[in-house]
Amino acid sequence: MTKTIGEIAKLAGVAKSTVSRYLNGGSVSAKTKLKIETVITETGYVPNTFARSLKAKKTNIIGTIVPRLNSFATAQTLIGIDEELKDSEYQLLISNTSQDLNREIDSIYSLANQKVAGLILLATKVTERHLDALNKVNIPVILVGQQSEECYSLIHDDEHAGFEIGKYVIGQGHSNIVYLGVSEEDIAVGVKRKKGFKRATYDAKCAVHFAETDFDLKEAMKKFDYLYETYKPTIIVCATDNIALGILKAAQLKGLKVPDDLSITGFGGYDITEITHPSITTVQYYYKEAGLTAAKNIIKLINNEEIHKLTMSKTELVIRESVDKIR
Amino acid sequence: MTKTIGEIAKLAGVAKSTVSRYLNGGSVSAKTKLKIETVITETGYVPNTFARSLKAKKTNIIGTIVPRLNSFATAQTLIGIDEELKDSEYQLLISNTSQDLNREIDSIYSLANQKVAGLILLATKVTERHLDALNKVNIPVILVGQQSEECYSLIHDDEHAGFEIGKYVIGQGHSNIVYLGVSEEDIAVGVKRKKGFKRATYDAKCAVHFAETDFDLKEAMKKFDYLYETYKPTIIVCATDNIALGILKAAQLKGLKVPDDLSITGFGGYDITEITHPSITTVQYYYKEAGLTAAKNIIKLINNEEIHKLTMSKTELVIRESVDKIR
DNA sequence: CTGAAAGCGCTTACAG
DNA sequence: CTGAAAGCGCTTACAG
């Protein structure tokens, strides 16, 4: 059924090597080119990827390692990568790790073993083991979401995002604030967003109470009562939209009116924050665009073109209904 | 750097074919087995996938074609598949089509060309072209979400789901109902859910107005005003949670209180329906479990084991806050 | 520009 | 149980 390069060669009356050269853009005369072209379209010939990869010792696959499949940020980033890659000669291979660090490391080696042309790593944390693995496999890599001195990285401007939220919250007159962040192990979400927020609120005469939770919505809900009762804040600034969603739900379950009784903000710009009632004031992250850029960059790296060590994706404050003006 | 089977053979003092046999579970004596084992662990040898696939003319890849990446249903199904496959000898390859029918067909051929061992197709529609392609490529296939006589299928019990919602809505005393469905081109969502709902409401003395929208949340929002003004329903039964989310938002924007002024239901059991205020009464679909089962089934097919032509995934009514009791 | 030959790293009958 | 040999479908120097 499926043809080989040898059969194509025979049908076209040329040598295998000539067909191969035609396929790979080598020098072929106009008329042999035509002959081969005809045969190929007639037969619907498609080269065998394995044979090709075996010889060439590389593939046209871009491996993308993601921590989870069911996240807005992941999905959008993947969509961006996919969009950029689908019309290129590269193919996207997605490897999910379910937030298991070991699987993440394993995936690096396993994808390298499959001779992927490049690697995009949607990172939540960059450990020594990551760096070590990336070093060993020695293929082009782009980190997305976290930054490392030793890698090409694409990050969102978390600190700026935090700063914008901080400025806005102060501007709305809030002076008793809970900042509900996440562990500082996560540099982007845990450290930088908070840092930007601190910088914006530092000079203002306001109390900011810092608390921590994880990325889980339900966990945030559980934390709500304690935070609200302890600090009686007029606003809870949440380090992710997901956390904000949890706080919103918990507040509403308690019978509070948002934003009249309590204001809430998030980070990320997940679609759903526009749909809740009230809609949530947040900072828009451009995940899809980041994916596009990451894909473009990895292709450049593969082609030995220069790219910046660090690419910054912008963020933008989106003012909606969940923040009250305090007078 | 990376070793070949030949080097392993030399180090172990045996022939390549013996190493190969060891690798593939052929008969090898205990002591040669030990020798080879030692060398392999010492060297960290990993067989070259391409060489293997080239010879064997097949891979251990399960291709999964998805219509979109940013959907709760897709994500959950993929998580299920991934979970089942990650500890097996098979690898998951995800191919996104962005709801482009042509890309869907292309993906079938392209994955077949890559000699995937099996194919899982998260289908929204099954056309002649699909069947044709599936037929031609002649590899094990499982359809998920839609059913076809000519394929192994795994579907959710849409009709039952529709029936349950219908029974519940009637039981709550609603008699002026809008059923907001989708195009009948989609058998599962457009036809079966409605059919079940009709069956449940047929005998009741109530008015059901059938309307249609697409899968887009914003589109549903746009439809709201007309539906509400025209029919003055006490409830809008939406064919997906996404549509329900749109209707909920539109109703709230109009200043209606849900469920006091208007009740709303969905289908799917998306996480977010639990978080909205009010939470949405819906039918829980078990996407992740469906993914697990699909993966198990495709492996059985690959191994020439028997499976049922049709597997039904159950659905379950989840009563929450968005439906009022009418007296 | 074109072709013959070697080789990529594995597996698979076939002998022994 | 074990090994030598052929071959999977391609690409890549090397001659011409």
Residue A259: pLDDT above 90? yes
Kindly report the average pLDDT of chain B as a whole number: 94
Average pLDDT over residues B171-191: 97
Percent of chain B with pLDDT over 70: 100
Residue B255: pLDDT above 70? yes
A24 touches strand D (CB under 7 A): yes
Nearest CA in chain B to A87: B103
Average pLDDT over residues B104-111: 92
Q: B109 near B58, Cβ under 8 Å?
A: no
Q: How many CB atoms within 10 Å of residue B21?
A: 17
Residue B21: pLDDT above 70? yes
Nearest residue (CA) to C1' of C9 = B51
CATH 3.30.420.40 correct for A158-284: no
pLDDT-based confidence at residue B65 (cuts at 50, 70, 90): very high
A19 touches strand C (CB under 7 A): no
In whole angstroms, give the CA distance from residue A185 to residue A182.
8
Task: State the pLDDT at residue B113.
Answer: 85
- The residue written with tokens 């005998």 in the block is B203
Contacts of A50 in chain B (CB under 8 A): 49-51, 53-54, 115
Contacts of A115 in chain B (CB under 8 A): 50
Residue B1: pLDDT above 60? no
CATH level 3 topology of A5-47: 434 Repressor (Amino-terminal Domain) (1.10.260)
In whole angstroms, give the CA distance from residue A151 to residue A161.
23
Task: State the pLDDT at residue B14.
Answer: 92
In whole angstroms, give the CA distance from residue B96 to residue A291.
15
Q: Do the first three CATH levels of A61-156+287-314 and A158-284 match, i.e. the same topology?
A: yes
Nearest residue (CA) to C1' of C7 = A55
Percent of chain A with pLDDT over 90: 83
Residue A1: pLDDT above 60? no
Residue B247: pLDDT above 90? yes
In whole angstroms, give the CA distance from residue A213 to residue B1.
45
Task: State the pLDDT at residue B26.
Answer: 78
pLDDT-based confidence at residue A149 (cuts at 50, 70, 90): very high
What is the Rg, in whole angstroms, of the alpha carbon atoms belonging to chain B?
25
The class that CATH gives domain A61-156+287-314 is alpha beta
Task: Label residue A44 left, alpha or beta by phi (over 0 means left) and psi (-120 to 50 means alpha).
Answer: left
A96–B76: do the CB atoms touch at under 8 Å?
no
Average pLDDT over residues B112-141: 93
Residue ranges of domains in chain B? 5-47, 61-156+287-314, 158-284
Contacts of B96 in chain A (CB under 8 A): 78-79, 82, 92
Residue B327: pLDDT above 90? no
Kindly report the average pLDDT of chain A as a whole number: 94
